[in-house]
Each structure stands twice: as structure tokens, then as C-alpha cells.
Structure 1
Amino acid sequence: MDATVAALGDIIVTALKDADYMQSTINQYRKSIKWLGVLAEEQDGQYTRALGKKFASMTVSPRTGKYSAQRRFDYGRLVCLLDSYVLTGTVDLSMRPRGLQKEFPNSPEFADLLDSWSQDMEQRGLARSTQTCLGGLACEYLRFLEAGRVSSWDAADGASVLGFLESLRDRWAASNMWSAVSSFRPFLKFTQRTDLLDALALARTKRHHDIIPMIDSGVERQVVDACQHGSVTARNAAITLLCLSTGLRACDIRSLQLKDIHWREGTIGLVQQKTGNPLTLPLAPLVLAKLAQYVLEDRPTSDAHEVFLRLKAPHVALSDHAAIYVIVNKVFHASGMKDMKVGTRSLRYNAASKLLQAGAALPTISAILGHAHTDSTNVYLSVDTEQLRSCILPLPGAGL
């Protein structure tokens, strides 16, 4: 096999073209291949994994003399493709996260404990996103202990729990600390350390429920018009209309599969990612029409089972809830709402509030939103101003 950078670079570019990558992306790869070829001149143009590692570490821009995140990403992804071909004979174009990889504890005891916790969550059938959240906090705590030179679980004490929570305040908003405590508690329960649970209770964090205002009916009409009249792509229109009309969570929209759409009945049926409960929802004619337009005309050819795919190659499922957030905001901006920032959470609140104003009973709203418990729907009562006014008691002597 010709292992020169030039030959391997041609193979990478051909694979990108076959996968229908955009020309601008291919040009960026060509640029990286060019600079790798310059570095490879010191070894007759031959590529080795050691050379790739050296190339990927060149993250400082010669122009500015500062760290370049773009250079790190461009060089790193090229080296991943080259290494995959050298090792397997195929170019692996699967998606990789941009962010830094999570660091795991070094202590064998902590590593085994974290592995046992992961297996327990898996066996209980927790959603993947829940496992990531709970496992991530457990991992961070164990790393925090190691930073304090504690490498034995028996040596962990209540002070370390409070110290760990305090360290989170640099990255977590005060209003989100309740979520951090709630996500950390299951791990401590799993370890059966009641002393650490007692220390966690001393944090006394409170849950904050912000009152999210409803979207003005005029704004909603503009967004629907933009979706209906082709101002945005069918994919983006379908996603936004699903958020507006059903209040589906971003994780459920992202994981919605083709088999979940029942075209003749005009419904979708899915298993919720957060609760694991089945949910069937009717679709408005416009939502169904945009879904059909996307699936029949615009959806890229792909083996993926998910409905909504990336527009750019590789044509795989959307990466996470952030992709849904970006799409929804693009639609709002295209409709003329350039100063608004909305996400699926605010549209979920909006859908619930509309149902409440229409006189729907809370159990009905709870069923539509797919809540595991009907009490979860009570938070939406805060936006029903007219109903709240009827609860006001007259002040004694107010007529004097």
C-alpha cells in the first residue's frame, strides 16, 4: 500500500466525495492534507501514526501565535480518517464530538465503582441521556476526590460532598444547583453511603420554576405562515411545527423514527426518552404535510432510521437537543422574529399553556405532554393569568 500523504489524501478526498460532503468541507480537508504533506517531507512524504499525532498536536496558529480551536478540529479529524484507513483499510466517516473527552478516575477502586454504577443504570433501563448525566456527575466527584488525594471510597467523607458541590458553582448557575444535587443523589444511594447522603441534604438546594411567558399569537401565526409558505426547508418546518403543536421534548423529536409515523391515521407513536412511557399524538394536517414533503422529497438517502437527518454529509441523525434548538431559532428568524430566542422548552410551555387556556383538564394536558406524573403539569398553572385572578379573595373592608 502506498502510504504517502499524497496517496492517502486522495483516498480521503474520494471517500468524502462519495459520501456527498459539501465542496467547501472537502476544500478544507485538502488544505489540511497540504500542510500535513509539508510536515511529512522530513520522512520522504510517508505517513505514520506518529506523524499524525505530531500533526494533530499543532494547535497554535503561526499567524497569531495563539491556540486555534479550528486548527485543532481540522487537523484532528484528518488524522482520525487517516488512522482509520491505515488500521482498517476503510475511511471511517462516523460523527465524532467536538468537545474534550471525559477524563476517568485513575484509582482502580474508583474505576470499578464507576463501572458498577454504569452497569446498574444500564440494567435498570435508564435513558441514555440520563445515564450520561448521572454517570458524569459521579465521575466528576471521584475525580474531585482524587484531586484531594483520596483514592479509597471508604475515605470519602461528608466534607468532600459539600466541597464538590461548591466546586460546581463555577460552572453551574445557582438556579441549577437543585438539578446537580438531584442527579448526584442516585449515585450515593447506589453506594449505600448514608453519611454522604446526609451531607448532601445539608446543601438545602431549592428548585426554581421560572415563569416562561407564552408566545404572542401574532408571532406564532407568523412562524406557522413561514413554515406553510416555504420560507424554510420542509425539515425545519416539520420540526418547529411539531414543537409548537405537540410540545414534544427535543430528545423525542431527535430520536423520532420513520416507523413511528402512522400516515393513514395521522398520528405518531413513540416511547419517550425521558420517562420510557409510550405516547401517541395526533398530527395537525400542516404538520403531516410537511413531514410527508420532507420524507418524500428532501430527506437525504441514508440507512438511518431516524426521521430527521443532517443536511450536510454524513447524513446521520441530528447530534443532540442543541441541533433542535438551532433549527427552531432559524425558523423564528426566517419568519421575522430575529430578536427572539426560543427552544423546545419554551415551546413545550407554550403548547401546555394554550391547552390550559382552551379549558383542557390537567390530566389531559399531562397525557399529551407525556408526563410520568400528573403533578408535573402543575407548573403550567402559573401562566394562566385569568384563572389565577378568579382565585383572588376580596380584601375585608375594600369597599370603604
Structure 2
Amino acid sequence: MSDSRHELIAALNSSLISQQYSPVVARNYCTYASGFLDYLGPRGISVTDVIDVQVEQYLRHAIVLFEKQRGRRPSARWHEVPRSGIHALLRLVHGQWPPAINPTCVADEVRFSICDEYELWLREERGLACSSVAALMWEARNFLAWQIDHGIDGSTGLSISDVDRYMDLRAPKLTRCSLKAVAERLRSLLRYLHTTGRVTTDLSGHIIAPMLYAYEGVPSVLDRSQIVAVLESAKKDKTSAGLRDHAILQLLATYGLRSGEIRHLRIEDIDWRTEAIHVRHHKTRASTSLPLMEPVGEAVLSYLRSGRPLTDAREIFIRTRAPYRKLDKLYSVVRRRLRDAGVQPPGKCGPLSKTVETR
């Protein structure tokens, strides 16, 4: 058992290093993973049989030990590193983590089957982008689980009053714009359920979305002095994150690209010889060739030379911490750089808040 445990931790360490985790992080992850294995042993639990509840039980146990050993409770976020190390171990052992949820009853089996077929329909019949499918599937899983929890029959028992109750449940923490998106995703699911004969009445037309006013979703506009201030502030940061963020901000300010267009930019999309940049528009599936402006080219080149981690990923802009992969979003990058520059837009402050005021 001891030999297999050491082999497993060694395999975890090799896996983390191959993913370009820093040696310090890999060592910490392995330490916490080893502690988790020590916890499982006396309890007769094999790591191959672990479920997510046991991870949470161990973390509570580890907090108690921490308090006994040091005479104080750990910080509120202390558990994040142990949990990440344990999850890395479990991904190595199980192939994925969190594990896939197994159906526990007939209703679960029906729900999972509907979700699988709905996802296939969204991808193959409607040809939606992965991000759109993910949003629609999250709402579908949430609604169908809510339906089962409230004992509502999937075919004949679902009524518009049930849909209203679900919308009322979702509404309190959402803006009108977000609630409108929920309504649209729910309409899609209900239309699909009716089309496939799982619901006798088409309820999609009865879902009332909140009214959005003209230009309500348009991001706030920065004037030229504010844009210059943000760019100059980011340029002073010579860390890997600073070089990356400055290049991203140059792209936003110069070309007005969407978040996804920047995140999906690949190394081969920049032609340094002809000084051109090739942009794929994922919403329209078209592409555009733009002149590579000097400030953008210099910022991107500085990042590629001195800031970008060594990785096989072809996307230009990469996370600064392992695992090194493309950025998931730009909102936090822009928000942080606006804050550092002391710029506070009056409205939305996501990636599209880079528009120059020209009047």
C-alpha cells in the first residue's frame, strides 16, 4: 500500500510538472494529496472509490487539525490549495473530476436522457457555438432538476404557473438583461420539449421577458484621455500579466475587437512580414484582415518574447498560472486595469468599454 501510494504521488508530481505547474505549487499539491491518502487509509476507503462528499469531509478534518496544531483557524480561503491538490490527484485516478453524476432514480434517467438529446440537437441541428450550448444546457439542467425536486410530471403536469414559479426563483439576483437571457434559454428548452412530444402544450410563447430599453446594454464610453491613462498604467507593469494585459488593451483600443476574437487569436494569425492581423469573427463565422498597427505589434511582440509562458497552446494570450491555456474571459483583466488607472466608467466596464468618444 505504501509503495503504491508513493508511486501515485510521484505520478501526480510528474503530471503537474508536465502541465508546467511551478515546482512549488506541484510540491504543495502533492503534500495535500498525500495527506488526503493518509486520511483515507485508516478508514478503509480506496482512492478509486472516493466521492465528492468525502473530499469535503477531509477538508473539515484538515481545518480542525490546523487549528489544533497552530492555535488558530486558517484563513477563509485556506482550503483552496488543499482542494486543488486533491482534485488534481482525483483527476489523475478517475480520469475526470468532479465525477459524472449517476442517475439515482427513473426521473434522473429521463432527465439525463433529455439533456443528452437536447445538447446533441443544439450542436448538430442548430449548429450553435460551444459557449451558447453551454449556457443553454446549464439552464436546461437547472430547470429539469427543479422540476423533479418539485414533483412536477414532465409530460402532462408542467404548466405555465410552474414556469412562472421557476422564473420567480431565478429573478431576485438577476438584472433585467440577465433575466431576459434566462427567459430566452427557457423558451428554447420548452420549444424542444414540445417538438419532441415530451410536453403536450407549447409553453414557450407564455414566457414574458423583461423589457430592455434602447442602448441599455451598450457599454460605457471612455474618452481618449481615459484610454491613454489605462494603456500607460498597464505599460508600466513589466510582469508577464502586465505585458499580456497591455497587448490586450492595445487590441481593444485600436480595433474594437470582441472578447472572444481576442481570446481566440492564434500565433499564426499575425503575419509579421506583411504587417497584417487575421481576425476570426466567431459570431458570424467570417474573418477580417486588418493592418497591424505599430503600437499593437510592439505590445504583442513584447508579450511573446518576455511574458508568454512556454506552452504548446497556439492561442496568443495565455493564463499566467498553470495549467497554461487560453484565457476564459477578459472582463477581469479590463476591470483590474481600469481600477489600477483610476478610471471608473459610469456604466458597464467589460472588454467593450474601450470605445473612444469621438464627438
Say if 2:99 is the partner of 1:109.
no
* 1:155 paired residue among 150, 157, 161: 157
Alignment of 1:63-74 (within 5 A): 63=67, 70-71=78-79, 73-74=80-81
Aligned with 1:346: secondary structure? Answer: coil
Q: Give, as a single letter, the amino acid of the residue that structure 1 aligns with 2:175.
A: A
TM-superposition CA deviations, 1:196-220 (whole Å, max 9, x none): 02321xx252124436442132221
TM-superposition CA deviations, 1:96-153 (whole Å, max 9, x none): 79xx999999443333322222111111321111111112222222122112212423
Aligned twin of 1:134: 136
Point out the structure with max Rg over C-alpha: 1
Q: Is the 8 A contact 1:127 1:276 kept in 2?
A: no
Alignment of 1:305-384 (within 5 A): 305-318=314-327, 320-321=328-329, 324-334=330-340, 336-337=341-342, 342-347=349-354, 350-351=355-356, 353-354=357-358, 357=359
Aligned twin of 2:281: 272
Alignment of 1:18-167 (within 5 A): 19-33=19-33, 35-36=35-36, 38-39=38-39, 42=42, 48-50=47-49, 54-55=54-55, 57-60=57-60, 61-62=63-64, 63=67, 70-71=78-79, 73-86=80-93, 106-123=107-124, 124-167=126-169
Aligned twin of 1:179: 181
* 1:206 paired residue among 204, 211, 214: 211
| CA root-mean-square deviation | 3.7
Equivalent pairs counted in the alignment come to 336
Displacement, 1:304? 1.0
Distance 1:145 1:43 in 2: 37
Say if 2:230 is the partner of 1:223.
yes
Aligned with 1:59: secondary structure? Answer: helix
Distance 1:21 1:332 in 2: 29
Alignment CA distance shift 1:186-1:43 (3 Å): closer
Displacement, 1:15? 4.1
Distance 1:152 1:141 in 2: 11
Aligned with 2:59: secondary structure? Answer: coil
Structure 2 residues without counterparts, runs of 5 or longer: none
Alignment CA distance shift 1:19-1:164 (3 Å): closer
Distance 1:216 1:26 in 2: 45
Distance 1:342 1:103 in 2: 41
Distance 1:158 1:251 in 2: 36
* 1:291 paired residue among 286, 291, 300: 300
Q: Is the 8 A contact 1:5 1:40 kept in 2?
A: no
Displacement, 1:260? 2.1
Alignment CA distance shift 1:137-1:24 (3 Å): same
TM-superposition CA deviations, 1:65-104 (whole Å, max 9, x none): 8996652x4444333433455568xxx9xxx79xx99999
Distance 1:130 1:102 in 2: 22
Aligned with 1:264: secondary structure? Answer: coil
Aligned twin of 1:237: 246
- TM-score, normalised to structure 1, is 0.70
Distance 1:157 1:31 in 2: 53
Distance 2:115 2:33 in 1: 40
Q: Is the 8 A contact 1:159 1:199 kept in 2?
A: no
Alignment CA distance shift 1:120-1:7 (3 Å): closer
Structure 1 residues without counterparts, runs of 5 or longer: 358-400
Aligned with 1:329: secondary structure? Answer: helix
Aligned with 1:57: secondary structure? Answer: helix
Q: Is the 8 A contact 2:280 2:288 kept in 1?
A: yes
